[in-house]
A and B are shown apart, each in its own frame.
Chain A
Amino acid sequence: MKDKWLIDRRTCLRGIGASLALPLLESMGWAESGKANVYKPPVRLGFMYMPHGVIMDQFWPTSPEAFLSAPPAGLASLQPVLGECLMVKGISGVPIAPLNGAPHALELSTWLTATLPDAKRRNIVNIGISADQIAAYYVGGLTALPSLELATMPQTHKENQEGLNEAYYSHCSFRSPTQPLPAETNPRNVLNRLFKTLQEGRGGDGQKSGARVDPLERSMLDLVLGGAKDLRRRLHQGDQHKLDEYLDGVRALERRIAAIEHRQKDAAMEAAGMAASKKNASDSPQIEVKIPVGEKRSEYMQVMCDLTVLAFQTDITRVSTYIGSTPNGVSYPELGFTDEHHSQTHHNNQAEKSDKVAKITEFNIAQFAYMVKRMHALKEGDGTLLDNCIMMWGSGLEDGNKHTRENLPFILAGRGGGSIKPGRFLHDIKGNQGDLLMTLLASAGIPLDRPIGIATKQLPGFAG
């Protein structure tokens, strides 16, 4: 299969086990203000999710001191970068009454919203804007993609507990209280989206990679948008709201095309030898993106991690949310057993089952560790990419066996551009899920004019 894609500027990609020569951020334009100026890269925010909680004694450090000296077994994969991680214990989840019968729909949908779905109108989606989307509203306009949503399972789970809309089982990003955002599950599509232009066809012979956005496309969309507004006036009120999602989508598309046109212009300038900075492709670090061909879950999960790193590194987006798996029915044959994750979490303290849950948790943390380590290995400015990120890994339940939500498991990584001091375990933080999200967004420099969900405060001690 031919996969020769021309990525803008000096990035190029070869073959399926593609090798990318990437531009350093400094060469992307926004760091070219002269040596005298302090170079301040943007802060990126990433969220990665695992369902069903953890085996607590494998996860929580026994004391703040032991965090680095004798970390728990579950964190083994993070060992080399524990100094870049911050753990916080004492974050409670959203109380779920009166929706007690839907713990798994709520563990995911409340994870970034810190909000309980509307219990009066359960069959429609009505929750809160999620933290990643709040961030995207503020910083999304500065990058080609406002945010990236990734998952490894189709979001089509149908289960009707407590009469809640099915979307709550498989979505955690909400662009508005009523609009869940779908996530990309196909790594190739993500790669396309990050680096190919909209104009290129996908089928065909792969020779269209030089195609450009039709210069009339944005004007055409403007006319369509005008027509859609006419249509909107003819509709009933409820239908008008539905059409607003369309209008929002077209406007976002127009911004995206503008960003692509900008990149193309930039590339043309450089081709003509007029670019301000002149680094060769060979100056840039090589990064490999392997699109897995088999069914190995680790490879599938890791390619999504690679893509997140890539998107952050090239500043294509600054916000990413990655649903490692949804609460329904994923198996890990790689670990030597085919049992579904959920079925093992109701272990009733039987060692056979809880061991499997511990293994699955370790596996998921290892994927997060893989991503964090890559970020730590990439230089950016005077430090590393990870220095300018805030990465959050976590689950929406504390203990999958009893569905408790008192001490939700979280691991944070990165320094948030200096706003977070890692290498510590804050063992008694006393806050809720909303407080944590508020704190992370504030650390990333997102101005907040209202609490996120049930938040009441920002948490102290993150900066050291």
Chain B
Amino acid sequence: MRLKIHVFGMIALLTLALGLGAFAASASEPGPQAMSDAEGVAKRSATQKTFKEGVTPFLKTYCSECHGDKKQKGGLTFRSALKDPGLSAFTRQWRTSSASVKAHDMPPDDAKMQPTDEERKMFVDWVSDIKFLSEKDPGPFVIRRLTKVEYGNTLHDFLGVDSGVVGELPEEVAGAGYLNSLSPLLMEQYLSVSNEVLSRLFPADPRVAQSNERRLFGEPPAAGVDRRTAAREGAGRLARRAYRRPPTEAEVDVLLGVFDLAAGAGRSYAEAMRLVLKAVLVSPQFLFITPADEAGSVVREVPLDDYQLASRVSYLLWATMPDAELLALADSGKLRDRGVLLAQVRRLLADKRSRALFDGFGAQWLGLGKLAAKAFDAKKFPQMTPELRSAMYDEARLLFESVVRENLGVMTLLDCDYTFLNQTIASVYGMEQSVSGAEMRRVGLTDPNRGGILGMPGVLAATSFPNRTSPVNRGVWVLEQVLGQHVPPAPPNVPALEKQGRDKVVNLTIRQRTELHRTNAVCANCHKVLDPIGFGLENFDAIGRWRDVDDSGGAIDATGELPGQKRFGSPAELKRIIAERRDDVSRNLTEKLMAYALCRQLEGYDEVVVDRITQAVVADGYKMQTLIAEVIASYPFMNRRVAE
């Protein structure tokens, strides 16, 4: 098996020839992503035609002998995929096959027949069009449990307790890859956190306890007033807030049952209401985002109801419950109105709570989440203190937030002339003379090698080994995280690389050692694209400091060439070449944000949606808020599939 770089994103973009819609925010007008059915049908039938007339004979001629009914080499057969090629289950198989065919890895050299280059191209092109076979479909969806972070923030906004109250819950991955499961252990922890919340709200000090009781449960009923009537009202208020939608009668009845239970045991009104609050906190309606509407008769997909949509938007941008304004719009049934929704997105992004979008999405995208706990060689890099790590994180966060809130172009993230520093991290830049104090502040940059994520210490450190840089890791990172290409893992039987032995290798620079990859044909295919990017960043050491020589004492050689004879001689020039690919970067960011927003991997029809959003973003000058708003106003975000 040989290694190849797969460049699906680019292919997908090139093959798309759709008209660009202007960014439309008026209420009734459909957005730029609106689907032209005729166009979809035409694309679909063209893709089907190629499948029937080109792809099927291609597979039967060149592939079926080893990957058909009788033999299934490598566990791979096209039998099922041939029956229903558009099924998302086969997407990966098609992509892998396409990469192998494109790279001339398949059919193997000793095969009886080899396809012509035209045939190979036909197959590869068709694979990038597979998305058109997918029917319009919002994708899989199940009700979602709040993440640890969301749960803590929601407890804070709902009850006024510190969100740190959830401290002991396990850390979770947000976005695509979010587990969304609930174990007995977690249920136990929810009860335990609820007990803690109650003990903080209602401590021994009666003044604090009573003031919180009044705030949450209202005035205790006066003498002569029916306690149950007051309790029903109070429970309904709590539920509406906690469930983020109007509770049903039956839901309020359950809570009233809890009140009766406590009252029957002789507890006071306030004590009984405390048990009601505890019941609310361990209810599924609080822990999950549940629909306000009852599931109707059997249909394939439905729009999210307004309350679910309000929660979805709010948890995406703020990682907390919807505020009064969002809920009021849901009440009035206006939230699905495109103009209203987009205005809300802009309002939420302007609020400081939208920092959650970086903490949840941005940090994951840039790989900075793991920086705090990542091991560094303490002897070599004593500077990597918790303070520096946290400053590195904040630098990236503040740049991201600046691009979001100021609605700058996506490319600003890659190439800009400012950053955010305090004294600690300024030392990495060699700017500790001009920046003092612990506070992060905006700083102009004159060095063209800096400015943007490629020259940013946090990113450079996150992609390094504990004791040295890794040009390979940095190259993979740029290709996958910035440009959205798929880099396959190294094959299982990597041949020995350093035959020269340690004494010979030790005097080579990291670049010279890494270049050994390219003396081997199996490795060279992939590494000739990966490594130059990493070489171009070799002037930055494993924690992002500038250097002219590497650990071996050899001079850094930051020159290189990328496909299309694009040569560079410094990080600044490399950065400019990458930043020129703004359409790829926009598409990648859209794709990554979409997967995060939907809490799942993208598949099938999603790719069509991503293409259309990318076009809207390109047409609007690559503006960051447009990208975010279009993801939220997209068909998969606003609708859900209800049956398999």
- Measuring CB to CB, which residues of chain A are less than 8 angstroms from any residue of chain B? 97-98, 100-101, 103, 120-125, 146, 149, 154-156, 158, 160-163, 165-167, 175, 178-186, 189, 193, 198-204, 208, 214-217, 219-221, 223-224, 226-228, 230-231, 234-239, 241-243, 245-246, 248-250, 252-253, 256, 329, 331, 333, 338-340, 343, 346, 348-350, 352, 402-403
Binds A, one of B26-34, B171-179, B433-441, B450-458: B171-179
Besides A185-B170, A346-B494, 19 new A-B residue pairs in contact (Cβ under 8 A), listed by A number: A98-B75, A103-B492, A156-B171, A162-B92, A179-B181, A208-B199, A215-B265, A224-B279, A228-B284, A235-B291, A236-B642, A239-B142, A245-B182, A253-B187, A329-B375, A338-B377, A346-B490, A348-B495, A350-B502
A182 touches B284 (CB 8 A): no
A202 near B168 with CB under 8 A, answer yes
With contacts A158-B177, A231-B290, A249-B184 taken as known, whether A348 is within 8 angstroms of B279 at the C-beta atoms is no
Tell me how far the C-beta of A363 lies from the nearest C-beta in chain B, rounded to whole angstroms: 15
Which residue in A124, A175, A252, A338 is a CB contact (below 8 Å) of B375?
A338
With A238-B141, A241-B142 known to touch, is A331 a contact of B375 (CB < 8 Å)? Answer: yes
Inter-subunit contact B601/A123 (CB<8 Å):
yes
Verify A149–B250 contact, CB threshold 8 A: no
- Is B430 part of the binding interface, using a Cβ–Cβ cutoff of 8 Å? no
| Residue-wise interface mask of B (134-178) relative to A, using a CB-CB cutoff of 8 A (1 in contact, 0 not) | 000000111101000000000000000000010110111100010
Q: Does B545 contact A (CB under 8 A)?
A: no
Which one of A181, A200, A230, A236 has the greatest number of beta carbons of chain B within 10 Å?
A: A236
Other-chain residue from A103, A146, A155, A175 in contact with B170 (beta carbon distance below 8 A): A155
Contacting residues, chain B, for A343 (C-beta < 8 A): 465
Give 5 nearest A-B pairs by CB, closest first: A97-B75, A249-B187, A98-B75, A252-B184, A227-B254
Question: B190-198, B328-336, B342-350, B531-539: which lies at the A interface?
Answer: B190-198
With a CB–CB cut-off of 8 A, which chain A residues contact B465?
A: 339-340, 343
Verify B295–A246 contact, CB threshold 8 A: no
Q: Contact mask B310-334 → A, CB, 8 Å, 1/0?
A: 0000000000000000000000000
Choice from A155, A180, A220, A237 contacting B275 with Cβ under 8 Å: A220
> Would you call A242 and B170 a contact (CB within 8 A)?
no
Instruction: Give A339's nearest chain B residue, CB to CB.
Output: B466
Roughly how many angstroms separate A214 CA and B274 CA in the complex, as a whole number?
12
Give B244-266 interface residues, CB cut-off 8 Å to A: 248, 250-251, 254-255, 257-258, 261-262, 265
User: In the complex, which of the residues B89, B145, B251 contacts A121, with contact meaning CB atoms closer than 8 Å?
Assistant: B89
The residue that B186 contacts in the complex, of A120, A203, A224, A249, with Cβ under 8 A, is A249
- Inside 8 A of A243's CB, which chain B residues have their CB? 143, 284, 288
Residue of B nearest to A404 (CB): B492
Given known pairs A163-B601, A198-B191, A340-B466, the reply for A230 and B196 (CB within 8 Å) is no
* Complex contacts, A329 vs chain B, CB 8 Å: 370, 374-375
- The answer to whether A231 and B502 have CB atoms under 8 Å apart is no
| A161: nearest chain-B partner, CB-CB | B489
- A100→B492 CA distance, assembly (Å): 9
Closest beta carbon of chain A to B184's beta carbon, Å: 4
Residue from A223, A338, A348 within 8 A of B258 (CB atoms): A223
Which of A125, A231, A338, A349 meets B284, CB within 8 Å?
A: A231
Contact assessment for A156 and B254 in the assembled complex, using a CB-CB cutoff below 8 Å: no
Q: Are A248 and B186 in contact (CB under 8 A)?
A: no
20 interchain pairs (CB within 8 A)?
A: A97-B75, A146-B184, A166-B177, A180-B181, A182-B179, A184-B185, A208-B199, A216-B261, A216-B262, A223-B258, A238-B141, A239-B295, A245-B182, A249-B187, A250-B187, A253-B191, A329-B370, A348-B496, A348-B498, A402-B493
How many angstroms from the CA of A215 to the CA of B145 in the assembled complex?
Answer: 28
Residue of A nearest to B283 (CB): A224
**Contact yes or no, A239 B143, CB < 8 A:** yes
Which of A193, A216, A223, A235 sits near B295, CB closer than 8 Å?
A: A235
Kindly list chain B residues whose C-beta atoms are within 8 Å of the C-beta of A228. 283-284
Give bound CA distance, A249 to B183, whole Å.
6
A252 to B189, CA, bound (A): 12
Q: Enumerate B424-473 residues with CB–CB distance to A below 8 Å.
A: 465-467
Check if A227 sits within 8 Å of B261, measured CB to CB. no
Q: Are A348 and B378 in contact (CB under 8 A)?
A: no
B38 within 8 Å of A (CB atoms): no
- Closest residue of chain A to B480 (Cβ to Cβ) is A160
Nearest-CB residue, chain A, relative to B168: A189
Q: A166 touches which one: B89, B93, B173, B287 (CB < 8 A)? A: B173
Of B145, B254, B369, the residue contacting A226 (CB under 8 A) is B254
Whether the Cβ atoms of A231 and B285 lie closer than 8 Å is yes
Closest to A348 in B: B496
Chain A residues in 8 Å Cβ range of B493: 402
Q: A120 contacts which of B74, B89, B181 (Cβ < 8 Å)?
A: B89
CB pair A338–B466 under 8 Å, yes or no, is yes
Most chain A CB neighbours (cut-off 10 Å) among B145, B184, B369: B184
Of A122, A184, A238, most B-chain CB atoms within 10 Å? A238
Cα(A18)–Cα(B137), bound, Å: 57
